[in-house]
Structure 1
Amino acid sequence: MNIKYPDLSTSQSAYLVTIRREHQLILFLRAAVLILFLVLWEWTANTGIIDSFIFSSPSKIGTCFLTMAKDGTIFPHMSATLYETILSFLLVTGISILAAVFLWFSRNLSAVLEPYLVVLNSLPKSALAPLLIVWLGANRTTIIVAGMSVAIFGSIMTLYTCFIGTDKNKIKLIYTLHGTSVHVLTKVVLPSAVPTIISTMKVNIGLCLVGVIIGEFLAAREGLGYLIIYSSQVFKMDWLLMSIVLLCIMAMALYAVIGVVEKVYQKHF
C-alpha cells in the first residue's frame, strides 16, 4: 500500500500564512480597542457624561501637546526624563552584571549578602526618595539614583540565580580541559545567560522609568514627573494627562528598542 505524504513546503507555507493572519488580527484588535477607548472617552466628555475639566478628552490632550510642541516647552521635559531613564537603565544593567559576576565568584559572600538583597529589593522605593534628597540634594543625581533603586536589587538577584543555574556538565567539561573559573564565566556562564540578561533589561527599562518619575516628583525642576506634579497643583488636567500619555509612549518605545536588540541577537546567535 502506497502512503502519500503531504507536501511539506505547502504545509509550511500554509502554516506561515496562518501565523501571519493571526498576527495581523491581533494588531487589528489592539488598534480597535485603542480607537474604541478614545472615541468613548471623547464622546462621554463632549456629552457631559464625565466632567471634561477633571477627565479632559483626547482632543484637548492633542491640542495641548501641539501647542506645547509648537512653542517648544514640552521637549525639555521629555528629553530630561528620557535622558535620566536611559542613564539609570545603563547603570543598572552594568552594575547588575558586575555584581552578579562578583557574587558568582564568591559563593560564601553571596550566601551572606542574599538576605540583605532580598530586604533591599522589598523596600518601597518611594520611601527612599526623601532620604536620597537629604543625602544627595535636590538634583539630577538624586533622580538617577532613584531610577536605579527600583530595579537594581531585583536585577542582581535574577542574574545571579541565572549564573548559578548554568549547566553543570558544561562547567565540568571546562574544568576537565584544565580551564579556570574565568574560562567558565566567559565561555559558558555569560553566553548562556544572554537571554536572561535581555529579558531582565526589558523589565528594568520600565522600572527605571518608574523610579525616575518618583525622583522627579520630589527633586526635579523639569521632566514629565515634574510636569505631572505641577499640573496637578494648578489643576491643569490637560497637561497632567498629556504627560501620562507621553510616558506611556516613551515606555513602549524603550521596550521596543530592547525588543529589537533581542531579535538581532536571536538572528545572529
Structure 2
Amino acid sequence: MSKVELMAAAGASLQYREWLSHERRARLSVRGAQLALLLVFLVLWEVLPKAQIVNPLFTSYPSALWPTFLELLPDTPRQPGILTGILTHTWFTVFATIIGFTAAMVLGIVIAAALWWWNGLYKVLDPYLVVANAMPKTAFVPIFYIWLGATLSIYGMSLAISLFIAILMIYSGFQGVDPNKIKLAQTFGATKAQVLTKVILPGSIPTLIAALKVNVGLSLVGVVVGEFQAANIGLGYLIQYGSQIFKLNIVMTAITILAIVSSV
C-alpha cells in the first residue's frame, strides 16, 4: 500500500473514531436527560406532598413506597383485604398477561393468514373487525365476568383488548409485502401455502415485531382492567382495594410495580 493510501486509511479511521465518539456522547446525553427528568419527577413527588402543596392523601410519596412494599411482601401481609404477598399479586398479573398476549398473537397470525388466504372473507369481515377494534372493551368486563367467571374473565379481557388490533396489524403487514416477490415465487411454481410460509410471513417480520410490542402493553392493560372488576388477586386488585380504603401507598406501590413490569 502506498503512502497516500495509508494516509487516506488513517484519515478515514480517525473520522470513524470521531463519529463513534460523537454517537457515544449523544447516547450519554440522552440517558442523562432521561435520568434527570426521572429525578426531577421523584423530587417533586416527594417534596410537594410533604410541603402540603399537594394533599398527600391523594398522591402518597416515594419514600413511603418501600415500607409499603416490605409490609406487603410476606404471603400473609398485615392488611385485612389482602390475602397474599405482593410478589404473588405481581406474578398473577404477569402470568395472565403472558397468557393473553400469547393467545392474541397466535390467533392474530392464524386469523390474518386466513383473511389473506380468502380475500373475500376479509372483505366481508373488515367492517366488523374495525368496529370490534374501536369499541371500548371495558364495557364488556361485567359480561365477561358473568360468562367466564372471576379468573377466566381476566384472560378474556386481555385477549379482547389485544386480539383485534393484532389481526389488523398483521394482515396489513401481509398486504404490504412486495407483490413482485409473490409473483416471482409463483413464477417458480410456488403453491399458495409456500407463498404464505416462504414469502408473506418472512416479509412481515417487521410488522410482527411491531405487533408484539403493541400487544404486550395492551394485554397488560386488559389484565389490569379485568382485575379491577373480577379478581381478589393481582396488581389491578391491589390498586382497586387501595383506592377503596384510601390507602394511596398501596395504590402507588402497585402502580410503580406495573411501570417496572411494563418497561421490562
Fold shared, TM-score > 0.5 on shorter chain: yes
Distance (whole Å) between structure 1 residues aligned to residue 12 and residue 199 of structure 2 = 37
Partner of 1:125: 137
> Which of the two has higher C-alpha Rg?
2
Partner of 1:192: 203
- What is the 5 A alignment of 1:88-237? 88-137=100-149, 139-237=150-248
Paired residue type of 2:58: I
Q: How far did 1:69 drift?
A: 2.1
Partner of 1:53: 57
Partner of 1:84: 96
Partner of 1:63: 67
Partner of 1:19: 23
Distance (whole Å) between structure 2 residues aligned to residue 100 and residue 213 of structure 1 = 27
Length-normalised TM-score, structure 1: 0.89
Distance (whole Å) between structure 2 residues aligned to residue 105 and residue 13 of structure 1 = 51
Q: How far did 1:5 drift?
A: 5.7
Distance (whole Å) between structure 1 residues aligned to residue 43 and residue 12 of structure 2 = 46
- What is the 5 A alignment of 1:231-246? 231-246=242-257
Q: Which runs of 5+ in 2 are unaligned?
A: 78-83
Deviations along 1:30-84, whole A, 9 cap, x unmatched?
1111111111221122222222222111001122112222557211110110100
- What is the 5 A alignment of 1:28-47? 28-47=32-51
SS at match of 1:179: coil
| Count of equivalent residues | 251
Distance (whole Å) between structure 2 residues aligned to residue 197 and residue 17 of structure 1 = 34
Q: How far did 1:13 drift?
A: 1.9
**TM superposition outliers: structure 1 runs of 4+ over 3 Å:** none
Larger mean CA deviation between 72-81 and 120-129 belongs to 72-81
Paired residue type of 2:239: I
Q: How far did 1:161 drift?
A: 1.2
Q: How far did 1:15 drift?
A: 1.2
Q: What is the root-mean-square deviation in Å for CA atoms of aligned residues?
A: 1.7
Percent identical residues: 38
Distance (whole Å) between structure 2 residues aligned to residue 161 and residue 33 of structure 1 = 37
Length-normalised TM-score, structure 2: 0.91
Distance (whole Å) between structure 1 residues aligned to residue 49 and residue 134 of structure 2 = 40
Q: How far did 1:128 drift?
A: 1.1
Larger mean CA deviation between 34-43 and 63-72 belongs to 63-72
Paired residue type of 1:209: L
SS at match of 1:128: helix
Q: Which runs of 5+ in 1 are unaligned?
A: 254-269
SS at match of 1:178: coil
Q: How far did 1:22 drift?
A: 0.8
SS at match of 1:112: helix
Paired residue type of 1:172: K
Distance (whole Å) between structure 1 residues aligned to residue 204 and residue 96 of structure 2 = 27
